[in-house]
Structure 1
Amino acid sequence: MNANQRLDKRDLILAKGAEVMTRRGYHGAGVQEIVQAAGVPKGSFYHYFASKEDFALQALQQVYGPRLQRYAQALDNPALSPRTRIVDYYGELVEHFARQEKLEYHCFIGSLSFEMAELSPALGAEIDAILQRSADILQACLEQAQAGGELATDEDCRSLASFITSAWQGALTRLKVASNTRALADFMQRLQLLLRA
């Protein structure tokens, strides 16, 4: 097996396993279920991952590296005003959920944070780092909005970015609990009010 094939198999296990963990939670997702979803033998799991915790750490990086990159690109699009970038980005996410025939919870980080942030310091630190990176990306865009007169000059962009990031995570939690998009619609309404100059 060449290096590309090994990488492909690892990526497959990470992708399929992250889906299983998102749906069933950390404790509800056994290694056997992860390898069955990936269509690989159980030995392959332990070839690439020292433990289930190690798998979850690598899966977080695999899932959120590209997502944070897309977020950064969307919020740095020079063709749109900073305020429009933010509202459009979250608006598209809300529309995505609204189009689903059956609402499904797609927040891997949310699933892990409730179960494992306190039990696993390594996972807790990785989750916090990802959420902080998301807030940092948003803060940079908010600062551009402020410089362009779209936000009040006395607005604390760091605090606002942290609040919006936390509010979005909370709205996703309500989506899971209520199985409707009301909390997401409320989030969008408040987001637009928050971003008025």
Structure 2
Amino acid sequence: MTTAKADTRQTILDTAERLMVQKGYSAVGLTEVLTTAGVPKGSFYHYFSSKDAFGEAMLQKYFTDYLANMDRIIATPGASGAEQLMTYWQQFYDKQKVDDCQGRCLVVKLAAEVADLSEPMRLTLQQGTAGIIDRLERMLAAGVADHSVSLEFEPALAANSLYGAWVGASVLAKVNRSPEHLDSVMAYTRQMLHI
């Protein structure tokens, strides 16, 4: 792919992410994405074979960026496992609290909607969230090893449980337009990890 074509494709994906995190997948048409991105309407299929392929590419880009951020947190020199975890959770909290708790997480915004619409997008969500949970498990294991975290069960189970709790709290924060559920899950996380 040429640089210009790759840049245009990236612009389309970035624009779509901004729109879809606000409105959802079905509410955003391709015309709106292309107009907002400043890309000619007829050129969409030069970059994507279908709307599903486009949605899958958008989610893959989102998870690539998201997981790279988690890897940066894990690689923070001298940070304990507890510090890594709380940096991650604070970022999650801050991202979900914006815009009257409407958030900026594509997983929270799109998971329930697209899981029934597109099998390729569902699989991308499944792989991406598995990557998040895997990194959380590594942070938890590091925290147990350096004694900054104390768990009553295995890191894998704790990672899965905590991520599910945060996604659920984010949905409830959106419904109530209040950070109350985010505050509760933060307190629950600290209590569960004994930090």
TM-score calculated relative to the size of structure 1: 0.90
Contact 2:31/2:41 (CA < 8 Å) preserved in 1?
Answer: yes
How many angstroms apart in 1 are the aligned matches of 2:151 and 2:174? 37
In structure 1, what is the equivalent of residue 68 of structure 2? Answer: 69
Distance (whole Å) between structure 1 residues aligned to residue 106 and residue 149 of structure 2: 32
| Matching residue of 1:35 | 34
Runs of 4+ in 1 over 6 A off after TM superposition: none
Alpha-carbon spacing, 1:15–1:161, altered in 2? closer, same or farther (3 Å): same
Label 1:92 to 1:126 Cα distance change in 2 as closer, same or farther (>3 A).
closer
**Which residue matches 1:56?**
55
Against the structure 1 CA distance between its residues 21 and 97, is the aligned structure 2 distance closer, same or farther, given a 3 Å change threshold? closer
- C-alpha deviations, 1:29-71, integer Å up to 9, x for none? 1111111111111122111011111111000111220111111
Structure 2 counterpart of 1:186, one-letter code: S
Match of 1:90 in 2: 89
Fraction of identical pairs, as percent: 26
- Say whether the 8 Å CA contact 1:175–1:181 is kept in structure 2: yes
Q: How many residues of Structure 1 are paired with residues of Structure 2 in the alignment?
A: 195
Structure 1 pair 130–96 and aligned structure 2 pair: CA distance change class (3 A): closer
Structure 2: gaps (5+ residues): none
State the 1:126 CA deviation.
Answer: 0.7
Q: Give the whole-Å Cα distance in 2 for the aligned partners of 1:110 and 1:118.
A: 15
Unaligned runs of 5+ in 1: none
TM-score, structure 2 as length reference: 0.91
Q: Return 133-142 or 178-187, whichever deviates more.
A: 178-187
In structure 2, C-alpha distance between the alignment counterparts of 1:24 and 1:74, rounded to whole Å: 29
Q: For residues 91 and 109 of structure 2, what CA distance do their matches in structure 1 show?
A: 22
Structure 1 distance, partners of 2:23, 2:70, is 26
Question: For 1:159-189, what per-residue CA distance to the aligned partner results, in whole angstroms no more than 9, with x for missing partners?
Answer: 0000111111112212221112111111111
Given the alignment of the two structures, is residue 156 of structure 1 paired with residue 159 of structure 2, yes or no? Answer: no
Q: Please point out which of 114, 117, 135 is paired with 2:115.
A: 117
CA RMSD of aligned residues (A): 2.0
Query: Aligned partners of 1:153, 1:162: CA distance in 2, in Å?
Result: 13
Residues of 1 paired with 2:129 and 2:11: CA distance? Answer: 24
Indicate the residue corresponding to 2:179 in structure 1.
181
User: Counterparts of 1:44 and 1:168 in 2: how far apart (Å)?
Assistant: 39
